[in-house]
Amino acid sequence: MAAITADGAHQFRVRFDALARRGIALLRRPERVRVDPYLIGRALAEVMAACTFRAASGRTLLWNEYRVILSRADFESLGVLSHAVERDLCTVLTREVAKRKADLVGELRVITVADDADELSPGHAVVRPAFVETRRAAHPAPGQTVLHTDERRAAPIAAPTLLVPDTDRRKAGCVLRWPDGTATLAMGATTIVGRAHPGSPAHFVALDGASTKINKQHLTITPSPHGATITRPDGANPVSVGGRALEPGGATETTLPVKIALSKGDLVLVLSRA
């Protein structure tokens, strides 16, 4: 079976064992290959090479965002290194762009998330590349990653991004960031987070730019002095906190910063201290 298989126009499936052992004759059954940043970089370079778009000048126009969905076991093996891994992978892809003398529509972005549905076996991954125009924004603070969703997302609904009344920094618990916005959450207050919609409740953060895969009330966040409690309401689409999936109606306490993936990585949030 091929190491990289196209599974639609904007999705590729990866078998890391086939990628690692390509061209090597094996005399015995091998042990499972450990997925590391080097193998992920090789996979992304091959996915990038599969892009056949050209700019008006005739130069190759490559995808600039790559969302990597890893099995839970492989994602957890990266541990606290996930942010550093994303930066290193961007460096690898930057070299690939230069080698191919290609153009990009925006800054390179690599996002690694866990498969919160547990559908991927260890050693397997899904890569979703996209063209995403980089918005002008402040540079992220150390330890934080600027994330962008793909170009196929639904148009945002005209609604306030934040309806949390108390944003006094002395009472601020944490900051929630996503591709199209930022919200400050009050210490001890439970805030509902979801897709923008008319008639939203009090203490609500509207995720501007979210697709219809994001529920109107997708999760709640309650900041505390030690981190935050995150809850997935009954009936809400998948929520993954730090690579661990929440059951419907389930809750988890987490330290900060932490990445929160919604609807199997359709939108990724970063929650950090204010």
pLDDT, tens digit, 9 for 90 and up, residues 4-24: 999 877 899 999 999 998 755
172-273 CATH: 2.60.200.20
Domain ranges of the chain: 4-130, 172-273
- Give, in order, the Cα–Cα distances in Å from 88 to each of 20, 37, 92, 151, 210: 19, 8, 6, 24, 27
Evaluate if residue 61 carries a pLDDT over 80: yes
How far is residue 112's CA from residue 67's CA, in Å, rounded to a whole number? 6
4-130 CATH: 3.30.2320.60
How far is residue 233's CA from residue 224's CA, in Å, rounded to a whole number? 19
Q: pTM to 2 decimals?
A: 0.57
Q: Which tokens go with 133?
A: 């125009």
pLDDT, tens digit, 9 for 90 and up, residues 136-170: 333 443 333 333 333 333 333 333 344 444 444 44
